[in-house]
Amino acid sequence: MFTSHIIGTGSYIPEVVISNNDFLHHTFYEREGVPSTKSNESIIEKFSEITGIKERRYARPDQNASDLGTFAAEAAIANANIDKETLDYIIVAHNFGEVSINSNRSNFLPSLGSRIKAKLKIENPDCVAYDVPFGCPGWVEALIQANYYIRSGDAKRCLVIGAETLSRILDPFDRDSMIYSDGAGAVVVEAIEDSSKGILAHKTQTHAIQHAMLLNLGTSFVNDASTQQHLYVKMNGRRVYEFALSHVPQAIKAALDKAGVSITDVKKVLIHQANEKMDEAILQRLYKLYNIDEVPDGIMPMTIGWLGNSSVATIPTMLDLILHHKLKDHSIHKGDTVVFASVGAGMNINAIVYRF
C-alpha cells in the first residue's frame, strides 16, 4: 500500500517586521466597548509573557495570501526537484481567502488553489486545485487529505500549502490582535511503497456543540464609522486555552497509539504556534499521559517568538526552517519520528505521526 513521503518543503516569511513596541501607541478596548484602564506597557508585557511573542511578520501592502502561498509553493517544488506539471493535487489551507489591504473582506472566488495554480503557470488540467478552510489545523488536515489520495492510488504527487494574511482581519482595538501574523509554508508529498516511513497515522476531531464559537468573526470592540462595516477575528482566549489542554494531548496520543509508536520514540513535536505557554502545557500533559513527568529538552521547536501566529502556516514554515538548518539547535534526520499537531477554530484538533 502506498503512503505519503515529503520530498520538498518551502516557506515564505514576510519581510515586514512588527515588534511589540509598535503597539505602544495603540488604543486598546475591553469587550464591553470601554477603553482599557491598563497602560499599554503593562498590556504588552503581560501579552509577551503569556504568548512568548516579541515580534511578528506582515505581508507587504502589494501582497495577498495567494502571493505568499505561491512563493512557498515555488520553493517546495524547487526543493523537491520535480516537474510542476506532474502534480496531481494542489490543496491550500487558509481561513480568509484573498483579503486585499484595507478591505477587510474575504474573497473566495476564485479559490486560493486556483489562484496559486495560475500563478505557478501549471497547465495540466488534471492537476486539481482546491481549498481547505479548517481553522488553524487546516494545513495538517490538507496533508491528511493528500495522504488519502495517495493511499487510494488516485494521486502520486500533491502540493500542500498553508497561507494566511491575518493582519488584514484584525481589530486594532483588541489586544488579541497582537497574536496574529502572516506567512506561508508548503510541502510536496509523493507516493512511496515503504510503509515504515512517511505518514504512519493521524487523528482528527471536531468539538462543535459546546466549542464552535470560541473563535469567530465578530464586530470591533469600538463601534464607529471606521469599523461598523467590518468583521474581525475574535477569540475567547481563556476557554481556547482550557479546551486545548483538555483535548489536544489525547488526540496526539490517539495518533501515536494508532501508529504503534510511544512518545519516547518521538524526536520532535511540531505544534501549531498559537501561544508559547499553551504549547508547553499541552506537551507536559501529553507526557503525563505516559506517566513521564519531565519533557525532554529540545523536543518542541518554537517560532512564535519572532514569527507570531500565522495560523495554517506555522507548522509547514517551522518544518521548512528545520529541514533547511535555519532553526538553531533543531534538526531532523532520516529515521526520526515527528508529530505534527494543531488546534483551532471549529473547534478542530488533528495530529499526524510522520517518520522521515
pLDDT confidence bin for 225, thresholds 50/70/90: low
Asked whether the domain spanning 199-355 has the same topology as the one spanning 3-196, the reply is yes
For 199-355, give the CATH class: alpha beta
Residue in 166, 92, 102 with CA at minimum distance from that of residue 134: 92
Q: Given this model, what pLDDT does residue 111 score?
A: 96
Summarize the confidence of residues 144-167 as an average pLDDT.
Answer: 96
Question: Is the confidence at residue 278, as pLDDT, over 70?
Answer: yes
Span 13-34, pLDDT tens digits: 999 999 999 999 888 888 878 8
| pLDDT of 226 strictly over 80 | no
The answer to whether the CB of 128 falls within 8 A of the CB of 39 is: no
Q: For the segment 228-266, what is each residue's pLDDT rounded down to a tens digit? A: 678 888 888 889 999 999 999 999 999 999 999 999 999
Greater pLDDT, 183 or 195: 183
Q: What is the mean pLDDT of the chain?
A: 94
Strand 215-218 to 232-235 pairing: antiparallel
Inter-axis angle of helices 237-259 and 276-288, to 10 degrees?
Answer: 40
The span from the first CA to the last CA of the chain, in angstroms, equals: 18
Above 90 in pLDDT, residue 77?
yes
Give 290's Cβ-side CA count (13 Å radius).
Answer: 19
Q: Where are the domains of the chain?
A: 3-196, 199-355
Is 80 exceeded by the pLDDT of residue 133? yes
pLDDT class of 288 with cuts at 50, 70, 90 = very high
Do 1 and 177 form a contact (C-beta atoms < 8 A)? no
Question: Closest by alpha carbon to 356, among 340, 336, 342?
Answer: 336
Q: What is the pLDDT of residues 297-351, one digit of tens each?
A: 999 999 999 999 999 999 999 999 999 999 999 999 999 999 999 999 999 999 9
CATH class (in words) of the domain with range 3-196: alpha beta
Mean pLDDT of 28-56: 89
Residues above pLDDT 90, as percent of the chain: 80
Asked whether 92 and 130 are in contact (CB, 8 A), the reply is yes
Contact 346, 134 (CB under 8 A): yes
* Cβ atoms 155, 102 nearer than 8 A: no
Q: What is the mean pLDDT of residues 77-99?
A: 97
CB 218 within 8 A of CB 169: no
229 or 212: which carries more pLDDT confidence? 212
